[in-house]
A and B are shown apart, each in its own frame.
Chain A
């Protein structure tokens, strides 16, 4: 059973606009959340993380929001750039060392 879900397999956004990628989880014990970005033929690369003691974490153009009551997190990319086109995975952990990943959302940023 998928404990971390990304219900949108794909998303297209115009360059310069905001990209919002969503992730839902079912396990209330998860307290550490991460986003990874993956280009074709490469391994995922770490993007940003957040712990459950926060509801927002920002790093440049990337912001992650966590809504614990809804068991939902989102990644905002502002402004979106063509180089952001990739597959984005969210991941969650209750222990900090065992991780559950979502199925990924393919983002296309249109120039």
Chain B
């Protein structure tokens, strides 16, 4: 089954404790991306990656890092989480079309930073 998987699905942590949310896709997509969803703000793009080793900032990259060493994996790293990073996070991979990517989203990771 074609899918994007994220782990963990739920995470409660404390301020300053480094964490990594993993993302993996089995569709052989070059493009991957991370979003956060917050009430009243919709989905906002954090980082995206056009292919292995190439990543670029989205709309809200501050406080996040990403790594793309393999095509299938795109982990999101929070080096020093803060309460304002409490959010619902989605990873996506993209299928190229004529004018851009159609994205397939994972099920989401709900992160709480206390």
**Interface residues in chain A, defined as those with a beta carbon under 8 Å from any beta carbon in chain B:** 2, 4, 6, 31-32, 34, 36, 41-46, 49, 51, 89, 91, 93, 95-104
Q: Nearest residue in A to B102 (C-beta to C-beta)?
A: A46
Q: Nearest residue in A to B49 (C-beta to C-beta)?
A: A97
**A-facing mask of B39-54, CB < 8 A → 1, else 0?**
0111111001010000
Structural contact, B42 and A104, CB atoms closer than 8 A: yes
Interface residues on B, range: 20 to 34
Knowing A49-B97, A98-B58, A104-B42, the reply to whether A43 touches B106 (Cβ < 8 A) is yes
The one of A4, A96, A101, A102 in contact with B100, judged by C-beta atoms closer than 8 angstroms, is A96
CA A101 to CA B55, docked complex, whole Å: 20
The one of A32, A51, A96, A101 in contact with B42, judged by C-beta atoms closer than 8 angstroms, is A101
Structural contact, A49 and B102, CB atoms closer than 8 A: yes
Structural contact, B107 and A43, CB atoms closer than 8 A: yes
Structural contact, B44 and A101, CB atoms closer than 8 A: yes
Structural contact, A31 and B107, CB atoms closer than 8 A: no
Structural contact, A43 and B50, CB atoms closer than 8 A: no
Structural contact, B99 and A51, CB atoms closer than 8 A: yes
A80 to chain B, nearest CB (A): 23
The one of B58, B101, B105 in contact with A45, judged by C-beta atoms closer than 8 angstroms, is B105
CA A102 to CA B37, docked complex, whole Å: 11
| Residue of B43, B45, B104, B108 with most chain A CB atoms under a 10 A cut-off | B43
